[in-house]
A and B are shown apart, each in its own frame.
Chain A
């Protein structure tokens, strides 16, 4: 999976824009799809792996029970988040993992989302676009961060030292990080390695 598919089901453009700007402030490679009316929920393909499903209670109220039932099947492995209206008793027909209140400020919303996304990205792995490092480059990066030499990395990944060097050049070019210490810090911050793995 190259990105986290986010479905934003809400009729209010203002709220959608607000959420998108918050999501963009997070480091995840999101692919955001907006749904403005319940009838458009049908375009969701069961094969789409929805990572994050965000819906407002106003929107949810407009959905028919059948629509909710079919949504449940499509959101099998998604994180489901409800944006609650003021004084709203949250409906629990979608097993929400998190509820965002109208009074939440930006930091607490990001924290709520991050709580789930951090687990998610560990399981699913994250970005891969021309600008992002590829899975193979990540393998090399992990070993570089673990302190292995080019030769050791080559042996471990069954590739030539020359290929390792090419990967390292590309990693440095893409990330803008030149030193091993810097690459290690990047790998730790992005949870490519866990601190124990370092030694």
Chain B
């Protein structure tokens, strides 16, 4: 079932509660009463079409109107990506760290060493994710804006063309390494190799958090790879073709 603008936000949440963090990323808070998506978007000054496309692409993996999303200005897409970065680093990761600490506290001696290793591993993962995000925010996104500006002004400068020849979005895509692998490893180690006895309920909670983070990151990467990269590649090509030295 596709989500449309006339639907009440409350219904959307009942339809798929996994969308809650996405909605909050757009700044919409609970307590929306009977308001529809359209009304809320107007209230919060959100581009309703963009909001719907993002919601639907998270809601239904098969829904991915590449062309549609590519029609949106990069600024909107990047603003959204920045918001999700913030969500990972400031909410999701600290939450998992807190759960891991809780697990360490509840373990009386046995398995302590393994938990210390897991904490350390997760720390490294967090480090990698942060530097990955930092790199995107400090290098890739500004580059993308520069390209878009030149594309829109239809007046590419020599400096810009040189810049594109030096570093293109394809480089970004290839270095867009899978931080996901570490997350996957961590899940498997908890599922398959953690020595017992541990608080099983807590372990399940941690696993669910890890799976949710993984799936959110995948959707996030999908938007980067299927929308951001092709859009920038198209503009790069145009600039290269139209620059007459």
Contacts and interface: CB of A to CB of B under 8 A. Distances in A.
Interface in A103-117: 106-107, 110-111, 114
Main secondary structure of the interface of B (DSSP, over half): helix
Interface in A85-129: 106-107, 110-111, 114
A121 to B, nearest CB: 11
Contacts of B89: none
Interface stretch (B42-50, B74-82, B191-199): B191-199
B20 interface: no
Interface stretch (B53-61, B117-125, B151-159): B117-125
B206 to A, nearest CB: 15
Interface in A148-199: 175-179, 181-183, 185-186, 188-190
Main secondary structure of the interface of A (DSSP, over half): helix
B110 interface: yes
A182 B194 CA distance: 13
Interface residues of A, number: 21
Interface residues of B, number: 20
Interface in B191-216: 192-197
22 contacts: A27-B195, A110-B196, A111-B110, A111-B197, A177-B188, A177-B189, A178-B181, A178-B184, A179-B181, A179-B185, A181-B182, A182-B185, A185-B117, A185-B118, A185-B121, A185-B185, A186-B189, A189-B113, A189-B114, A189-B194, A189-B195, A190-B193
Given A182-B186, A183-B185, A189-B195, 18 more contacts: A110-B110, A110-B196, A114-B110, A114-B195, A175-B192, A176-B185, A176-B192, A179-B181, A182-B121, A182-B182, A182-B188, A185-B117, A185-B121, A185-B185, A186-B189, A186-B193, A188-B117, A190-B193
Interface of B: 110, 113-114, 117-118, 121, 124, 181-182, 184-186, 188-189, 192-197
